[in-house]
Amino acid sequence: MADLVGASVISSATAVMERPRTGPDPAAALQSSPAPTGVCEFLDWDSKFFGIRIARVAGHRLDAERVAEIARAVRDQCINCLYFLAESERDTIRLAERQGFQLINVRVTLAARVLSTYAGTWNDDGVREAAPEDIPALREIAARSYTDSRFYQDGRFPAFRCDEMYRAWIEKSCHGYADIVLVAEQDGRPAGYICCHLQGDGSGQIGLMGANGGMKNQAVVRQLVHHALCWFQGREVRDVTVVTPGSNITAQRLYQRSGFLTRGTQLWYHLWPAGGARETSAS
């Protein structure tokens, strides 16, 4: 599975993840490593969760030879839905769209240098580490927070299953997928959360973030980003990334105010092969 972007409410998803952490991805968080099929990776968790056969294109670029190989793999593996995270490169885009891939979402990656100004404590002003008793409230925040993600935007995945996917993702994050989940409180109850991940190269990544009321709750959202950067600073992390949907201008502006700059964009495509797509209600 995939997106996360937003990976944040302002975004905008297993056991040990073996694929590179290129951004929040429910599949990466919830499943074991995908089964390789050459040019495509069969996604066992996604397939079982949504009840159809789902795979992902390996790599981010296409040429005529790879397109032919992908078509054979889709046919041979009886794939119902194929994900493709494409580089913003002309020939790849043209080939993908000629083959029937539909553009679902734009993924924006932002990056920030963690400066000494974030040397303060991360667990004050109503922000603390998530506790087991927070999980029910966090699950319900997550279920309302990511309607701009590609799973909802596709229109073929039932919305109630997408809700449940994000509930499972934040619960998995609280149980160790994230290095820490910070929670902001209002009136003694969780009002929002942010997931922080330490990468193998010494950098950091913000994963899921959500808040009651979404972006209307900017005080909580800003507070969470600030305390996350303080947490990274305390672990001598100097570079932090986050991904969010390109349509979420509010999220991008908030991150930019916190010192993030756009690092790059990629395009999320979905292919529903003729006769293989299972049209589902978005309600």
Report the CATH architecture of 26-271. 3-Layer(aba) Sandwich (3.40)
Distance CA 179, CA 117 (A): 22
pLDDT score of 23: 47
pTM: 0.83
How far from chain centre, in Å, is Cα 278? 23
* Residues in the chain, pLDDT under 70: 1-37, 119-120, 122-123, 215-216, 275-283
Q: Reading across the β-sheet that carries 261-271, which strands appear in turn?
A: 35-37, 40-42, 54-57, 81-87, 261-271, 102-113, 239-245, 204-211, 189-198, 180-186, 127-129
- In one letter, which amino acid is 167? R
pLDDT score of 125: 79
- Cβ–Cβ contacts within 10 Å for residue 88, how many? 13
* Strand extents, DSSP E, 99-155: 102-113, 127-129
Pull the structure tokens for residue 9. 């409410």
Distance CA 76, CA 74 (A): 6
Domain boundary assignment for the chain: 26-271
- Cβ–Cβ contacts within 10 Å for residue 38, how many? 13
Pull the structure tokens for residue 173. 């994050």
Strand-pairing partners, residue 56, are 41, 83
Distance CA 77, CA 173 (A): 31
Distance CA 123, CA 180 (A): 12
pLDDT score of 165: 97
Antiparallel, parallel or unpaired: β 81-87 and 102-113: unpaired
Residue with tokens 């959500």: 210
